[in-house]
């Protein structure tokens, strides 16, 4: 482990000898050296990075493929999480002709994830809605995460829709271990077999309604791949999902980033 430990430099915003990773939406500074990734954050992000570390460690103890923790460095005003690099290519990089087989693999792995037991992390719907309320109150909603239709409305109006629909969603939710941010860049595939080689960016992993993962995966497949997600849903085992629940989580999720 010590051989991989990055050297903190003055200012703490970059790591000497490591290559900066510029893709992705992570709020942390991300670097790579060989087969190790490092995420570095300031004081405001330490708890979130610590949460991700704990989730990576937990998932590594299951049959679901993913990264393992290499090292953890924490100081009074920063932290750095080092994990192994997961082999494969991110889902958003797959060729058009590979996507149907990849969807089948993703559906199987997601079903396995949702079947896990003993997860110590929870994401109650009320806490996720409260997070959205905070983001909207601070005016921090990123319009890039909204559809063209949603951008015509004020974030507060979108939040009102979420709050009004929440009692129904809570009454029918099915609590399972969810990834929590199941977008295509967070799923790695073997480019030859198109089997899932790992799930990454686990900061939101926890027990919540399975429709959260289904909503994000299906809308990503539709928008990013311009593909019908039916093969994914069939492989998962839910060819006819509840569109009302999918719509709710698709609206709630972009209000929680900010």
The tally of CA atoms less than 13 A away on the side-chain side of residue 194 is 17
pLDDT at 3: 44
Which of 3, 17, 7 has the alpha carbon at shortest distance from 73? 7
Instruction: Check 29, 51, 54, 181 and give the catalytic one.
Output: 181
End-to-end CA distance of the chain: 33
Q: How far is CA 251 from the centre of its chain?
A: 16
Rounding to the nearest 10 degrees, give the CA dihedral for residues 202, 204, 196, 61.
60
Q: String of b and e for 157-188 (b: at least 16 CB within 10 Å)?
A: ebbebbeebbeebeeebebbbbbbbbbbbbbb
Q: Which two tokens stand for residue 49?
A: 């990075």
Region at 152 (left for phi over 0; alpha for psi -120 to 50; beta for the rest): alpha
Beta carbons of 20 and 14 less than 8 angstroms apart: yes
Check: CB of residue 256 under 8 Å from CB of residue 135: yes
Residues listed for the chain: 258
CA angle 110, 84, 195 (to 5 degrees): 35
| Burial class of 138 by CB neighbour count within 10 A (0 to 12, 13 to 18, 19+) | exposed
Is pLDDT of 10 > 50? Answer: no
pLDDT score at 25: 56
pLDDT in tens, 26-84: 567 899 999 999 999 888 899 999 999 999 999 999 999 999 999 998 888 889 999 99
pLDDT tens digits along 219-255: 999 999 999 999 999 999 999 999 999 999 999 999 9
Could you tell me the residue ranges of all domains in the chain? 2-84, 89-256
User: What is the reported pLDDT for 238?
Assistant: 98
Q: Is 145 exposed, middle or buried (0-12, 13-18, 19+ CB in 10 A)?
A: middle
Active-site annotation holds for 201: no
CATH superfamily entry for domain 89-256: Aminoglycoside phosphotransferase (APH), C-terminal lobe (3.90.1200.10)
- The pLDDT tens digits for 128-175 are 999 999 999 999 999 999 999 999 999 999 999 999 999 999 999 999
* Residue-level pLDDT at 26: 55
CATH number of 2-84: 3.30.200.20
pTM: predicted TM-score of the whole model, two decimal places: 0.92
Q: pLDDT tier at 23 (50, 70, 90 boundaries)?
A: low
């Amino acid at each position: 482990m010590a051989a991989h430990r990055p050297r903190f430099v003055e200012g703490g915003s970059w790591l000497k000898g490591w290559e900066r990773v510029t893709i992705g939406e992570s709020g942390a500074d991300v670097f790579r050296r060989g087969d190790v990734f490092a995420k570095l954050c300031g004081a405001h992000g330490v708890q979130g990075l610590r949460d991700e570390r704990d989730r990576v460690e937990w998932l590594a103890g299951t049959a679901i493929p993913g990264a393992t923790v290499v090292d953890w460095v924490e100081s009074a005003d920063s932290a750095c999480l080092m994990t192994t690099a997961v082999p494969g290519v991110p889902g958003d990089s797959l060729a058009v002709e590979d996507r149907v087989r990849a969807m089948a693999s993703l559906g199987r792995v997601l079903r396995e994830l949702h079947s896990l037991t003993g997860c110590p992390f929870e994401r109650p719907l009320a806490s996720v809605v409260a997070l959205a309320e905070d983001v909207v109150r601070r005016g921090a909603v990123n319009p890039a995460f909204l559809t063209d239709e949603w951008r015509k409305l004020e974030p507060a109006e979108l939040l009102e829709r979420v709050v009004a629909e929440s009692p129904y969603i809570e009454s029918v939710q099915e609590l399972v271990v969810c990834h929590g941010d199941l977008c295509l860049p967070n799923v790695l595939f073997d480019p030859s077999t198109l089997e899932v080689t790992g799930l990454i960016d686990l900061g939101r992993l926890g027990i919540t309604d399975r429709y959260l993962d289904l909503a994000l995966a299906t809308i990503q497949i539709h928008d990013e791949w311009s593909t019908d997600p039916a093969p994914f849903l069939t492989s998962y085992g839910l060819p006819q999902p509840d569109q009302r629940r999918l719509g709710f989580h698709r609206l709630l999720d972009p209000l929680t980033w900010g």
